[in-house]
Structure 1
Amino acid sequence: MTAVTAEQGHRAQTAPAAPVPPAASGKRRGRSVDDGVPRWQIYAPLGLYLLFTLIPFYWMLLFALRPAGSTSLVPWPVTGEHFAKVWNERAFGTFFQNSMIVGVASLLMTTVVALAGGYALARFDFRIKKGFMLALLASQFIPGALMLVPLFEIFKNLQMINSLGSVIIAETVFQLPLSIILISGFIKNVPVSLEEQAWVDGCGRLRAFGAVVLPLLRPGLIAVGSFAFVHSWNHFLFALMFLSSQDMQTIPVGLNTLIGADSVDLGALAAGGVIAAVPVVIVFAFIQKWLITGFSAGAVKG
């Protein structure tokens, strides 16, 4: 009995294991890998949204590239007469230069000031810290139109009306609250121990910040700076209110001049819209990966 039992046990150990059915990989035809949702349920809404988004851009390119008086739905033959008209006759070259100055200056001023304020909120504790944060958040509920009259009086007393400096300062002040809050969240994600190690090695606070913290903030700074540039580039109210002469106007105000009381030159207006959109498209095309990294940096802490 004992021998038979031992022999049966030996056969059980040496017997080949039964084939195990392969686990479902999720790579079924027509289904996504992650959760088994059919792919058409994902791509169909995205395709409709993309179509809805791109139709206005195509319509703008159509009017900008097809000859005047044409009713074709395809821009053929392609013409550049509308671009030449707005750039030379409508002074869009000057508008473009002014908008670029305002956008770059607002980007630099907003980033530098927000970096200092965000570091103070992230690294220091002071009595009115919570109240200050609440004031920054509450300021986002104030429309920019309500700031026009007081800002106009301030710039008038400072003799800054009809100068690009007034628009740059106004844009910087308008964008600082949100920029400070965002950069503060980015800095909180950088461990204080990294700075402390630099202090032990003999670095001061400023040098440690520049050598240790600042390189890690690059995605956040790019995100904040890019939105500061785009907002300044597209903003209409401040430029319309503070700039009176044509040689000081920006692109949004220049586009408004193309709309007459009785008629609208659709070809010139579309060409001006394309010129206004090109820098924004280029900015987001080059910094897209930094934007995703920057805005996900504060998703865990902060």
Structure 2
Amino acid sequence: MSTDVAIRPGRAHAPQNRSRRRPRPKRDRGRVLRLYVPLGLYLVFTLIPFYWMVVFAVRPSGSTTPVPWPITFEHFETVWNDIGYAVFFRNSVIVGVWSLLATTVLAVMGGYALSRFRFRGRSLFMVVLLCTQFIPGAMLLIPLFTIFKTLGLINNLGSLIVADTVFNLPLSVILMSGFISAVPFTVEEAAMVDGCTRLRAFLAVVLPQLRPGLIAVGSFAFIHTWNNFLFALMFVSRQDSFTIPVGLSYTIGEYSADFGALAAGGVVAAVPVVCVFAVVQRYLVTGISAGAVKG
């Protein structure tokens, strides 16, 4: 009786290392320590003030515990109803939204001119725009106050909108100019060859590709206007025209301060900014990098 076993050809020579797993790359512990430890310390250092702001906002008056318990919302009621925070919040929204719109529209117009047209003094004009970022706003308070007083804009939210828009424009124009330069002009030319005017070509072809830049410019303009304290303090003196930063400053008296109300107002003021960053953060890096490396 034959005991021979038939062997399929090629089975004996099958590679033996197919089932072997690739070795995992070794972690560089030194790199982990150099990267994550400083980032962790910076994160803790950054979040501690926000933690204490929330603690003061939700713990009862007179309590000194680091953990807020029981939680109370009396400070929010005090800020919103007694101090008039609803009016401050409304004024900040009005100024922030109008400044955002004005800054974005003017930045697109100025950025397009700097990106698409070559004219004498263009480089010098870009340098001047950059140099304006080194001028502190406090130096221009007296000239601005005189101008707004002549125009009848003192104690008017229009003065804050104009001032914030003017100070947001230089950097916004530079960023938008770089972002428009990243869009090939040949695409715009093709639309004009098909019969579009320059404006129509811009609106139909270029503007849809500027979404990250528009979001970046608009976000920074809104956040800067939302947090601006100096202009609101100098150009507005009526309580019904106060914005959030000025309104919160009046919770601090000469000899005492309502830290619970101040913290509650700070929490409410931080919510819109956090929401804006949460929604648009993926566009910010793209917009800033495109505006910074092109031009």
Q: Same fold (TM over 0.5)?
A: yes
2:65 is equivalent to residue 67 of structure 1: no
Counterpart residue identity of residue 151, structure 2: L
Counterpart residue identity of residue 46, structure 2: T
In the superposition, relative to structure 1, how do residues 37 and 187 fare at CA in structure 2: closer, same or farther (>3 Å)? farther
Q: CA separation in 1, counterparts of 2:37 and 2:239? A: 47
Who is 2:216 aligned against? Answer: 223
How far 1:300 moved relative to its partner?
4.5
2:205 is equivalent to residue 207 of structure 1: no
How far 1:17 moved relative to its partner?
9.4
Q: CA separation in 2, counterparts of 1:206 and 1:84? A: 50
Counterpart residue identity of residue 57, structure 2: A
2:281 is equivalent to residue 288 of structure 1: yes
Counterpart residue identity of residue 57, structure 1: F
Q: CA separation in 2, counterparts of 1:19 and 1:160? A: 80
2:232 is equivalent to residue 239 of structure 1: yes
Who is 2:25 aligned against? Answer: 27
Q: CA separation in 2, counterparts of 1:132 and 1:25? A: 57
Taking the TM superposition and a 5 Å limit, the aligned residue runs for 1:1-302 are 27-28=25-26, 31=27, 38-298=31-291, 300-302=293-295
How far 1:293 moved relative to its partner?
1.7
How far 1:299 moved relative to its partner?
5.3
How many residues of Structure 1 are paired with residues of Structure 2 in the alignment? 282
Which stretch of the first structure deviates more once superposed, 164-173 or 122-131?
122-131
Identity %: 64
Contact 2:95 2:161 in 1 (8 A): yes
Q: CA separation in 1, counterparts of 2:265 and 2:149? A: 31
TM-score by length of 2: 0.91
Counterpart residue identity of residue 193, structure 1: T
How far 1:54 moved relative to its partner?
0.5
How far 1:40 moved relative to its partner?
3.8
Unaligned runs of 5+ in 1: 1-14
Q: Deviation digits for residues 142-193 of structure 1, max 9, x if unmatched?
A: 1000111001000101111100001000000011111100100000100001
How far 1:298 moved relative to its partner?
3.6
How far 1:26 moved relative to its partner?
6.1
How far 1:23 moved relative to its partner?
11
CA RMSD of aligned residues (A): 2.0
Unaligned runs of 5+ in 2: 1-12
SS in structure 1 opposite 2:152?
coil
In the superposition, relative to structure 1, how do residues 300 and 251 fare at CA in structure 2: closer, same or farther (>3 Å)? closer
Q: CA separation in 2, counterparts of 1:23 and 1:116? A: 58
In the superposition, relative to structure 1, how do residues 184 and 70 fare at CA in structure 2: closer, same or farther (>3 Å)? same
